[in-house]
Amino acid sequence: MSATVVVTSRSFSSGSLGLVDRLEEAGLRVVRGPADHDLASLGAHLADATAWIAGTGPVTDQHLQLAPDLRVLARYGVGVDAVDLVAAARRGVTVTNTPGANTEAVAEHALALLLAVLRSVPAGDRRVRDADWSVTRGRQLAGSTAGVVGLGRIGRAVTARLAALGCTVLAHDPWLSDEEVRSAGPQPTTLDELVRACDVVSLHAPGGRTLVDPVWIGASRPGQVLVNTARADLVDEAAVAAGLASGRLGGYAADTLVSESGSATSPLLEPALADRVVLTPHLGAQTTEAVDLMGSMAVAAVLDVVQGRDPAHPVPTPAGSTR
């Protein structure tokens, strides 16, 4: 029987490249599993799996127990916070990811969201469709002070775009020295100063800590516009909704919400805020180019491990853990 690759990423091989064909031509059998990684639905597939191309669903020790022959978990994307890296290392499973594959796509989407809020693009579209040609006056990005929180690949790409459009860019990243921040282009600053000084702020920090809270909003420059294409838990959504309602914040745009389901009840979905809030359903990385690159990198990782080579982008086991 040929080795089995389980694929649980919805968009894998949905671009312009035949990535399933590439795996099958290498002698691998490809089976699709649920994107939410439901154990009951996925168990039968994992029992035979040699490789797993996984999306954003959780990968726990329970999942890995069901996959005794698993050799490689290729994360289709960058973040591995949903993967139990310690359990994978203990079971001898190589974990990889696809760094940089969606950088340009997400950076462009962050800019698109920012401009959409500043110029009230969705609200204007709705009015025209209702035969209402009244005008809402917007704000220009050129000449503004823009803040970038987190200077990884995407944060740096956003910085370059903001600077090219005439912004003065400030950045904060607690993991980088001031010299490292300057080398990426923006002016280094503390988070407190960035909050006070910036007209617009784009979030590109890892999750796990709420940054935008009532204290942030109370200290922010009046009319500040926030963009979040990173993690939903960076933002206290109730506090942002209150800031928008009071006029303290000028707008909010995001590619994520804390509650991502058909029954979502986020205060940011209130109809009264619709003209100041722009939301998209995790489509920042969804360009044909990014999908092709993420998929190609995941396939390369699978083939490398299965064929006895070291993969290009292994994810290290967390420091201090034991195998």
The verdict on whether 282 is a catalytic residue reads yes
Q: Is the distance from CB of 292 to CB of 318 less than 8 angstroms?
A: no
Task: Find, among 304, 255, 319, the residue nearest to 95 by Cα.
Answer: 304
Q: Which residues contact 215 (CB under 8 A, 6 or more apart)?
A: none
Q: Is the distance from CB of 146 to CB of 167 less than 8 angstroms?
A: yes
- Among residues 37, 231, 276, 313, the one annotated as catalytic is 231
Could you give the 3-state DSSP secondary structure of residue 202? strand
The verdict on whether 63 is a catalytic residue reads no
Q: DSSP per residue over 284-300, as a string?
A: TT-SHHHHHHHHHHHHH
Q: Report how far apart the first and last C-alpha atoms of the chain are (Å, whole number).
A: 30
- Among residues 180, 182, 260, 289, the one annotated as catalytic is 260
Report the alpha-carbon distance of residue 27 to residue 306 in Å, rounded.
Answer: 11
Report the alpha-carbon distance of residue 305 to residue 17 in Å, rounded.
Answer: 21
Strand partners, 187: 170
Task: Find, among 266, 250, 226, 240, the residue nearest to 110 by Cα.
Answer: 226
With the C-alpha atoms ordered 270, 203, 229, 117, is the resulting torsion angle positive or negative? positive
The verdict on whether 260 is a catalytic residue reads yes
By annotation, the residues acting in catalysis are 231, 260, 282
